[in-house]
Amino acid sequence: MIQKLTDNELKEKIEKILKMEDVRDIQKYNAKIRNEELKRLKEIRGITKAQLSRVLGINKKMLERAMK
């Protein structure tokens, strides 16, 4: 069974993977770079797109399009 991450655990993991101080900074990236970074986050086990959307402050539909 895959263990689900809390929002805080996910935030810390994203900050480590993307080498960021604040995960919401991803909103300021241009679309191409943001989408590439979001694709890297697909590999994190135990998260949902809804949770990722909530933690990053990005619209769920935009997140889904970016991760195709």
Instruction: Give the chain's residues under pLDDT 50.
Output: none
> 28: which 2 tokens?
């300021």
Q: Which pTM value belongs to this model?
A: 0.86
Q: Which residue has the tokens 């909103």?
A: 27
Structure tokens at 30: 């241009």
Q: What is the pLDDT of residue 42?
A: 87
> DSSP code of 28?
G
Separation of alpha carbons 2 and 68, rounded Å: 22
Please give the pLDDT value at position 1. 74
